[in-house]
Amino acid sequence: MNIPLLLKYAYSFVQSKTGFKKFGKRSVIKYPFRIWNKSKIELGNDVFIAENSFFAVSTAFKKQKFNPRVVIGNNVSIGSNFFLGCIDGVTIEDSVIISDRVFVSDHSHNYEDSKVPIIDQPLKAEGKVLIKSGSFIGVNAVIMPGVTIGTHCVVGASAVVTKSVPDYCVVAGIPANVIKKYNGKIGKWIKN
């Protein structure tokens, strides 16, 4: 390993563990990464976040002020190129798997005033996001503001989840719809 690469990894190691509200044991954020406002982020134990992830945790936008909170539980695995946008709240509970290139946000840009460019309009908090324990989020999925993904759910690849998903369901499509549910009485997954 050459010295510049070693320095890069050393820098990454130090930066990934400093400034967080909480950084759990054996947790890792792979270099390179971008994180705004680490003091608003709590990571549990055994969290793995792959390279090129971007946590856009915003406390201010133009004249707006926010108090965001991101909580990631224990034993969570997040793939590369993950994007999380937060001005209010995003919680990922224990034992969740998030594939590569997943987008999660709790807000949007206003666009109502057609005379003002969208970039100059305020951000709008649209509801906290909650991904409950034991769930799997497929590659390229989008989790929109105000959505709760239930316990032990599967979100299919490239799904766009615009409404909350009950526990023990499989969703797919644009917008995502329930395609399977777990029937506890017979112990099987049933097509919807």
- 109 has catalytic annotation: yes
Confidence class of residue 60 from pLDDT cuts 50, 70 and 90?
very high
pTM of the model: 0.92
Catalytic residue among 26, 109, 163, 188: 109
- CA–CA separation, 93 vs 155, rounded Å? 15
In the prediction, which pLDDT does 11 show? Answer: 60
C-alpha pair distances (Å), 126 with each of 61, 83, 90: 16, 17, 12
Cβ burial, residue 92 (10 Å; 0-12/13-18/19+):
buried
Task: Give the burial string for 123-160 (b: 16+ CB within 10 Å, else e).
Answer: bebbebbbbbbbbbbbebbbbbbbbbbbbebbbbeebb
Tens digits of residue pLDDT in 4-46:
666 656 666 666 678 999 999 999 999 889 999 999 999 999 9
Burial category of 12 from C-beta neighbours within 10 Å (exposed 0-12, middle 13-18, buried 19 and up): middle
Give me the architecture of the 3-59+78-191 domain, per CATH: 3 Solenoid (2.160)
Q: Is the dihedral of CA 89, 24, 132, 154 positive or negative?
A: positive
pLDDT score of 18: 82
pLDDT, tens digit (0-9, with 9 covering 90-100), for 98-113 = 999 999 999 999 999 9
pLDDT at 1: 52
